[in-house]
A and B are shown apart, each in its own frame.
Chain A
Amino acid sequence: MTSPGRSREELELRGEGGALRLVVPSRYRGVRMAAGAEALLSKAGPIMKGAGMIVDLRGEGWSVSDIISVVEEIISPAEAEVIAWRAEEPETASWMKRAGFAMNSPGERREPCCGVYEEAVRSLMVQESLRSGKKIEHDGDVIVLGNLNDGAEIIAGGSVVVLGRLRGLAHAGLDREDDVVIVAGQYEATQVRIGGKISYIDETCSWWGKPVSMRVVKGSIAVKEIKG
């Protein structure tokens, strides 16, 4: 039996609309990523610089750390920008969507909760920690490859993902709350906002300082500790 994506064995770069599609076979997960990335960047680095990328994850079993390695080994060195993610495996696509990754193709229409069609908005990837006083406002999802420090703010139209420590103010889903999440690698903030909901939190919570995901469930912000 052939697993999905088995026929695509190599890292590939293809054109799609006005963007580039990076096809990443699952065999590049882990230690092979660095070598594959080096070969790809040596050939296509100049083309990728500043380009909008659709990252297409082929095969099974993708984890958060695998995806971070794609960003660290290919996207960041190429100075490219991820505008959408795809995953061949339904399970991977499902958890990535729940974690706030923009799984729509650029320009693809989606129907938000209010019933009005709107264009999918690019994700914003921040490749550094946000210090106190910094404020990011973005219509789409915001992914921070670092910490959100106390006194810093992210106001996002979509989801907010902070891979490091979340101590500042994260406000996800500025005008909607049904399909957005806040994900933190280490949650240490006293207030969180999703859509029109505000939750006040203190360090007595059992999940304080732990990786969590947050979403609105039945009109309240529900928190789930991410384990494993």
Chain B
Amino acid sequence: MDTRIIVVTSGKGGVGKTTVTANLSFRLAMEGYSVVAIDADIGLRNLDVVMGLENRIVFNIVDVIEEACKLPQALVRDKRVENLHLLPAAQTRTKEAVTSDQMLKLCNSLRGKYDFVLIDSPAGIESGFRNAAAGADEALVVVTPDVSSVRDADRIIGILESNQKKSIDLVVNRVRSKMIRSGKMLGVSDVSDILAVNIIGIIPEDDNVVTSTNKGEPLTLGSTSAAARAFENVSGRILGREIPLPDPTSFDENGLLTGLKKMFGRKAGRG
């Protein structure tokens, strides 16, 4: 079994790394692949909450590295989706508790046992990010269409390139079509021009993300919202399917909610 180890990173905080990691992990597992999601944000544990697994944590990544437990003991298996596991971060330790070599060894120990390992990286370019990226072959860089996020992503991509990652793809998150159309937000093409890496996904801003995060039920678990569909398409592209990218200026028109509104609007009109 060839294991694909992908780090989800960004540079800037708050752009949606954890949300992307959780949703893609669920979606890939729902497609039948075995998946381990690793929370590498040691000291600021979040992935467990977004995945709805916080109550079942016994051991964490630092326990594994310090050999306080075996790796399988620390993996939290999701009961809703078969073959999905979480390796949680430690909340009471700091990023210095893990070194790049230890992270590399941990990732290598997962090779051949799972189809996908998704690593949720902390923000920044310091040791936390470098440790998270150490064991990964590929990178997904999450960026929002604003100047500061793009600049930080550019920095991260430069570091990843110097680390010779096999592939670096971009997920443009929290896209607001109306703002792009009115020129108040950077367009996806602007982001692409500046960063010059492949765009693998465009995710619209969606209120459902907040709800799903709070409930611990990632959108890809069953929602039919625009963001859920976008995450499904990203996982499809990761799997090598040829799925065209959506027009980022027309999410409002093509979104399910808008579609339903139009449908009911028409019916009301007829009635």
Contact = CB atoms under 8 A, between A and B. Distances in A.
Contact of A150 (B125, B151, B158, B159): B151
Contact of B157 (A131, A147, A150, A167): A131
Measured as residues with beta carbon below 8 angstroms from the partner, the interface class of chain A is 10 to 19
A122 B94 CA distance: 47
Contact of A131 (B125, B154, B193): B154
A224 interface: no
Nearest to A133: B155
Nearest to B11: A132
Nearest to B152: A132
Interface string B137-152: 0000000000100111
Interface string A124-165: 000001011110000000000001011100000000000001
Interface in B118-170: 125, 147, 150-152, 154-155, 157-159, 161
B158 A131 contact: yes
A132 B125 CA distance: 12
Contacts of A131: 154-155, 157-158, 161
A132 B147 contact: no
Contacts of B125: 133
Contacts of A133: 125, 154-155, 158-159
A94 B151 CA distance: 37
Contacts, number: 32
A155 B158 CA distance: 19
A133 B151 CA distance: 9
A189 to B, nearest CB: 13
A149 B125 CA distance: 18
Interface residues of B, number: 14
Interface string B207-239: 000000000000000000000000000000000
A221 to B, nearest CB: 24
B134 to A, nearest CB: 19
B151 A132 contact: yes
B158 A134 contact: yes
Contacts of B179: none
A150 B147 contact: yes
Contact of B196 (A129, A150, A151): A129
Interface in A151-196: 151, 165, 167
A198 B155 CA distance: 25
Interface string A54-95: 000000000000000000000000000000000000000000
B194 interface: yes
A205 B152 CA distance: 26
Contact of A149 (B159, B161, B194): B194
Contacts of B193: 165
Nearest to B159: A133
A133 B155 CA distance: 6
A165 B190 CA distance: 12
Chain B CB within 10 A, most for which of A131, A133, A151 = A131
Contacts of B159: 133
A110 to B, nearest CB: 35
A186 B159 CA distance: 25
Nearest to A149: B154
Nearest to B161: A131
A189 B193 CA distance: 15
A22 B125 CA distance: 44
Contacts of A149: 151, 154, 194
Nearest to A151: B151
Contacts of A167: 194
B251 to A, nearest CB: 26
Contacts of B157: 131
Contacts of A151: 151, 154-155
Given A132-B154, A150-B154, 16 more contacts: A129-B196, A131-B154, A131-B157, A131-B158, A131-B161, A132-B158, A133-B125, A133-B158, A134-B158, A147-B196, A149-B151, A149-B154, A150-B147, A150-B194, A151-B155, A165-B193
Interface of B: 125, 147, 150-152, 154-155, 157-159, 161, 193-194, 196
20 contacts: A131-B155, A131-B157, A131-B158, A131-B161, A132-B151, A132-B152, A132-B154, A132-B155, A133-B125, A133-B154, A133-B155, A133-B158, A147-B196, A149-B151, A150-B147, A150-B150, A150-B194, A151-B151, A151-B154, A167-B194
- 8 closest Cβ pairs, A-B complex: A131-B158, A132-B154, A132-B155, A133-B155, A151-B151, A131-B154, A150-B151, A132-B151
